[in-house]
Amino acid sequence: MSQSNSEKTLWLSGNEAIARGAWQAGVTVASGYPGTPSTEILENLVKYDDVYCEWAPNEKVALEAALGACFAGARVLATMKHVGLNVAADPLFTSSYTGVRGGIVIVNADDPEMHSSQNEQDNRNYAYAAKLPMLEPCDPAEAKEFLKTAYWLSEGYDTPVIVRTTTRIAHVKGQVAPGEKSSSSVSPEIVKDAAKFVMLPANARNRRKFVTERMKKLSDFAETFPENRIEWGDGTRGFITSGISYLYVKEAFPEAAVLKLGMVWPLPEKMIRSFAEQVDELFIVEELDPFLELHIKAMGIRCHGKDLIPAEGELNPAVIRKAITGEESSKFAPVALPPRPPNMCPGCPHRGLFYALSKQKVFVAGDIGCYTLGFLPPLSSMDSCVCMGAGVSAVHGMAKALGEEGMGKEVAVIGDSTFVHSGITGLINIVYNDSYSTVIILDNRITAMTGQQPNASSGTNIKGEPAQMLNFEELCRAIGVKHVITVNPHEMSETKKVLKEEINRPEPSVVISRAPCVLIPSEKKRVKVPYWTKIENCTGCKACLGLGCPAIHWVPVTPEEGAKLGFKEKQKGHSEISIELCNGCGQCAELCKFDAITIKEDK
């Protein structure tokens, strides 16, 4: 909330505010993996010179690295998106038992509505399942303060703390009081404490008892935590809510009584009971799962929840108002229009690879990244996409199910960052358990979809400093892949030839499709020579349109216009390149058999 502050108020996104809060709380080590909507936290935290930040290969490694730093006594932060916490779930559950030395906070970003995700799981369930406290801010100002609270809780109650955001916290900008860096500091040192940190059964059973006691103490804390607060209204309708839903409720029902939970696990049962008794009708408003509702109903309290409020997608004030009063806010119905799905950029190397792949008529086991867009027409070259690394593992499973029949009929595609994240183990399985699978590594040198973060194969670290560059060719050979071939995906006919050979090979093989993402700063700076259309040469064959490049479009012509252009009677139009969009990759020129696409210079 904005406060009259003599200092200049900042205007920050939730992610910027979280970075600031972590720094002010005395964090010195932070590790994470990029994932929308969590990515900008580390990108902002790295700007503070007194914090060590890194992009880890995946979320499990990030959380384990963070745990190690916490065992050494530092205050640490781990950041990830909701599905990333699945990957990190293994250390998460046991870190609940070990507890901490320095404070550890995991910022977990959920993505209701799946703006940039493959599912919309509700990670509040992790707090319950792993027996960990979870804070949920409603705006950037709270996000910053909650980080500080989280470290205080972590060290005070010997527990990792999860701070949960959603897209509308992470990517919302609002006013934030600048605040100050905490003076309390920690000095890392090695302290051996096997009973606490060695989780074999005998120790773990003891720590299990501790976890129960800790959660009981945290439940007591929840009753007095000022961020679990009641805002009394007219008393007829009462709402229990948290996070972004709180702001929607305030907007939709400004006069109503609200119990706002800043801590969504464990719950303040006494406070909830007393609130429920003092309102005529109780509504639980939350996005996604009936998490609060289930636990409140388990207390034996009657309330409305998912009987009225949608469990799918994002909420907004109008959705809540309509669910409760039936009142429709929109006056105008949507007009049916051609869809506008996202697309790969002009000059994207993935397009060349997928074009070549689209000619192979194979099942493409895909993965998570920009290249998932290869699914869309006209390329239509992806047949499955589940989670990070799934394509590599799945293509092997398909081979085993199909036997010899399946040879030459399926292939996996995976990006460079995704391969490092979760693809390597799948490739080991292909070699170790001997299938004929082929894996294509789409190596564009960067983690592109989340905004060009460097990874272990980029040659730079999060600060842009030089770093060891993982060599995919050597890695794959070391795993035992005998056939590792590197292609330039912009050269599509050569790529097509290689793909055909490798997909049909009766042994494991890897094709590395390597060309840089057009959004890498060095590529953006590079002067590109755009292509253009010699319209008089265009026969209207539409071959170039098969690429689905945003810089090429079809221009229909009338018979009169066609005649003027010297077209044959049958020709209904021509292709045209928007020079201001063209990145000069030349893929379309390779496809044009009529010399209608050339670089501007040889006009």
Partner 1 sequence: MSEQGNILFCGVGGQGILLASEVTAYSLLAAGMDVRKSEVHGMAQRGGSVTAHLRYGDKVYSPLISPGEADIVVAFEMMEAVRYLPYLHNDSKMIVNTHKILPPAIATGKMDYPENVLDELTSRDIHLKAFDAFEIARRVGEVRAVNIVMVGVLSSYLPIDGQVYVDVMNERIPEKFRDVNIKAFQEGRKLAAQTG
Residues of this chain that bind partner 1 (CB under 8 A): 2, 11, 36-37, 39-40, 115-116, 139, 167-168, 171-175, 244, 247-248, 250-251, 314, 316-319, 321, 329-335, 337-345, 370, 373, 376-378, 449-451, 542, 545-546, 548, 550, 552-554, 556, 573, 580
Nearer to partner 1, 230 or 318 (CB): 318
For residue 581, the minimal CB distance to partner 1 (Å) is 9
- Give the nearest distance from C-beta 346 to partner 1 in angstroms: 9
> What single DSSP character describes residue 422?
I
- What is the rounded CA–CA span in Å between residue 241 and residue 500? 56
581 vs 589, which CB is nearer to partner 1?
581
Nearer to partner 1, 163 or 385 (CB): 385
**Block residue for tokens 């992790």:** 126
Check: CB of residue 230 under 8 Å from CB of residue 272.
no
| Cα–Cα distance, 267 to 60 (Å, whole number) | 28
Minimum distance of partner 1 from residue 77's CB (angstroms): 20
Residue closer to partner 1 by CB (options 240, 385) is: 385
Place of tokens 């010699």: 534
| Nearest to partner 1 of 156, 342 (CB atom) | 342
Q: What's the closest the beta carbon of residue 138 comes to partner 1, in angstroms?
A: 9
The torsion angles phi and psi of 232, rounded to 5 degrees, stand at -70, 140
Q: How far is the CB of 127 from partner 1 (least distance, A)?
A: 24
Comparing CB distances to partner 1, the nearer of 40 and 110 is 40
- 24 alpha carbon, distance to own chain's centre: 26
Q: Which residues, 6+ apart, have CB-to-CB distance to 27 below 8 Å? A: 45, 51, 74, 75, 76, 77, 105, 151
Q: How would you label 377-410 residue by residue, b for 16+ Cβ within 10 Å and e otherwise? A: eebebbebbebbbbbbbbbbbbbeeeeeebbbeb
H or E, element range at 356: helix 349-358
Q: How far is the CB of 203 from partner 1 (least distance, A)?
A: 41
8 Å CB contact between 163 and 135: yes
Peptide bond into 378 cis (omega under 30): yes
Instruction: Give the nearest distance from C-beta 426 to partner 1 in angstroms.
Output: 23
**Nearer Cβ to partner 1, position 330 or 468?**
330
Please check whether residue 575 is in contact with residue 596, taking contact to mean a CB–CB distance below 8 angstroms: yes
Nearest Cα neighbor of 325 from 241, 247, 258, 237 is 237
Question: Quick one: CA dihedral 503, 504, 506, 512, positive or negative?
Answer: negative
- 322: its two tokens: 């309509």
Q: How far is the CB of 172 from partner 1 (least distance, A)?
A: 4
We find the least distance from the C-beta atom of residue 208 to partner 1, in angstroms, to be 39
Tokens 């950037």 identify what position?
Answer: 140
Helix H or strand E segment including 118: none
Pairing of strands 104-110, 76-81: parallel
CB of 451 to partner 1, least distance (A): 7
Question: 143 vs 430, which CB is nearer to partner 1?
Answer: 143
Residue among 218 and 345 whose Cβ is closer to partner 1: 345
CB nearer to partner 1: pick between 378 and 397: 378
Q: Is 214 within 8 Å of 159 (Cβ atoms)? A: yes
